[in-house]
Amino acid sequence: MARLPRLLRTAGARRCFSAKTHYDETAVYKYASQQIKPVSLGQLLKYRQLPLSAENILDSVSYSQAELPVRLAKRVISFHRLPFIVGTNPHIAQVYSHYYEAFDRLYAFPPITDLDAEWAFTRTLERQTQLLANVIPEIAQGFLECKQYMPREGRTAFISELIRSRIGLRVIGEQHVALSFQFRNEQGTSNKQHQHQPDTQHMDDVWVGAIHTKLLPARMMNQCAQMVQNMCEMYYSTAPSYYVDGDVDETISYIPSHFEYITCELLKNAFRATVDFSARSGRSAHPPIQITITKGDGYVGVRIRDQGGGISKPNMGNVFEYSWSSVQSSDAAGELGNGGLAPSGMSLQTNLALQQGVGGPIAGLGFGLPMARLYAEYFGGSLDIVSMEGYGCDVFLKLRSIEGSVELKQI
């Protein structure tokens, strides 16, 4: 322990909030002290020449096996740095346990040299990736309960870094899992009974693992808008119409689940604001939501225009703050003190859990927009909002094609 970096020694001394004593902290410190080895987007796409070979899969798993334990160990150490009283919160401690379990399961695998061992690792990796997919509701509630013990800047920095790290972990993990299933689907040896198996029936030359190289934003926007419109009908018994125009035939190389998450969060805000403003202003009919697709040099732009009354000037500075929502009567902590009920009438934990997915409540609890911006920025895109108070909002989403920036962006 004497030769470990001082920061890690200090962090290790703080780890008192886990009741599990079997954790091998020496292994955590060893991996956390290593440098992250970023992967370029070009490397994620280097297997696009089908069919995939056994060498491709073993090469992919070699990077995943070496890199993921390092990144997981660094997340474990980040929890050590939290104030003790924050770390003892049961929700935050639960997320800590999930990250340690993922690290513990993956680092224990011996070096993989054959497809049988790769398949065992892939199945474990898939389970751990699914487990970490659901940590945001726990983190959100934990920090709501502990907000008085940590300054806002510290909370924001921790949550943002956790989400960015989570995106990287999922991209690397899900990319290898998808490649592995794609390879076995080509070979006719995939396990058809596996409950989390991706839909490989339609995998062809447009897919490289989890990346779709000819994604149609206009089609995705139509699908997402239809789903959000149905949600709006369910919650409010009414919903505005929408239409998609612009460069509707433009394609982009992107991860569909990321595109879907970002755009559904933006559309939920637009639909909800339009219905609410109609009720407040006595408007007899909802103006439609306009979704415009534009083509750029290596990117696609999406503008979502609504007539939902806009965002007041005092609130504009808060829209990208965690745990802030325009539908809240006070602040997020006030909801906890009010019986734990969220605006939709569901419990806070249920509402947060739903908000994490694209099928979440029409009125969120303040994690949708900041997470959407982090997802947009992760591959070099951007998310901006222009509000005209008393009229509506224009939301500008810029998504850079993964294929068009393969040598520039690393994760």
Considering the domain architecture, whether residues 105 and 227 belong to the same structural domain is answered as no
Kindly report, residue by residue over 26-54, the tens digit of the pLDDT.
899 999 999 998 887 777 788 877 788 99
Whether residue 187 is contained in a domain is answered as: yes
Collect all residues with Cβ–Cβ distance below 8 Å to 122 and sequence separation of at least 6: 61, 176, 177, 180
Peptide bond into 51 cis (omega under 30): yes
Taken in order 108, 74, 149, 10, the sign of the CA dihedral is: positive
Which of 151, 177, 209 marks a domain boundary?
Answer: 209
pLDDT of residue 315: 87
Per-residue confidence (pLDDT) for residue 405, from 0 to 100: 55
pTM: 0.80
Domain boundary among 157, 174, 209: 209
Same domain, 124 and 246: no
Q: Look up the domain containing 267 and give its range.
A: 212-405
Verify that 258 and 141 share a domain, yes or no. Answer: no
**One-character DSSP codes across 26-56:** HHHHHHHTSPP---BHHHHTTT-SSSP-HHH
Q: Is residue 181 in some structural domain?
A: yes
Per-residue pLDDT in tens (0 to 9) along the chain, 411 residues: 344 443 333 333 344 444 444 456 889 999 999 999 888 777 778 887 778 899 999 999 999 999 999 999 999 999 999 999 999 999 999 999 999 999 999 999 999 999 999 999 999 999 998 888 878 888 888 888 888 999 989 999 999 999 999 999 999 999 999 999 999 988 875 454 444 444 444 445 788 888 898 999 999 999 999 999 998 998 889 999 999 999 999 999 999 989 998 999 999 999 999 999 999 999 999 999 999 999 988 899 999 999 999 998 888 888 888 876 555 433 333 332 333 323 444 344 434 334 444 444 444 456 788 989 999 998 889 999 999 999 999 999 999 888 765 455 678
Pairing of strands 382-388, 289-295: unpaired
Residue that finishes a domain, picked among 209, 236, 271: 209
pLDDT at res. 207? 86
Q: CB-based contacts of 187: which residues, under 8 Å, 6+ apart? A: none
DSSP count for the chain of H helices, then E strands = 15, 8
Q: What is the pLDDT of residues 219-275, one digit of tens each?
A: 999 999 999 999 899 888 999 999 999 999 999 999 998 999 899 999 999 999 999
Same domain, 171 and 64: yes
255 and 361, same domain (yes or no) = yes
239 in a structural domain? yes
Query: Does 274 map to a domain?
Result: yes
For residue 317, give the CATH number of its domain: 3.30.565.10
Q: Is 233 a domain residue?
A: yes
Is there a domain that residue 411 lies in? no
What per-residue confidence (pLDDT) applies to 131? Answer: 86
User: Does residue 183 sit in the same domain as residue 218?
Assistant: no
The reported pLDDT for the residue numbered 24 is 67
User: What total of structural domains would you count in the chain?
Assistant: 2
Same domain, 167 and 300: no
pLDDT of residue 58: 95
**How distant, in Å, are the alpha carbons of 18, 34, 80, 94 from that of 12?**
12, 16, 7, 18
Q: How much helix, strand and coil, in percent to the nearest 5, is found in the chain?
A: 55, 10, 35
- Per-residue model confidence (pLDDT) at position 367: 79
Clarify whether residues 13 and 154 are in a common domain.
yes
Residue 342's pLDDT is: 37
181 and 112 inside one domain: yes
Measured between alpha carbons, how far is 37 from 295 in angstroms, rounded to an integer? Answer: 33
| pLDDT, position 336 | 28
Per the domain annotation, does 326 fall within a domain? yes
168 and 219 co-located in one domain: no
φ and ψ at 46, to 5 degrees?
-70, -10
Q: Are residues 184 and 220 in the same domain?
A: no
CATH number at residue 143: 1.20.140.20
Domain co-membership, 101 together with 248: no
Q: Is residue 198 part of a domain?
A: no
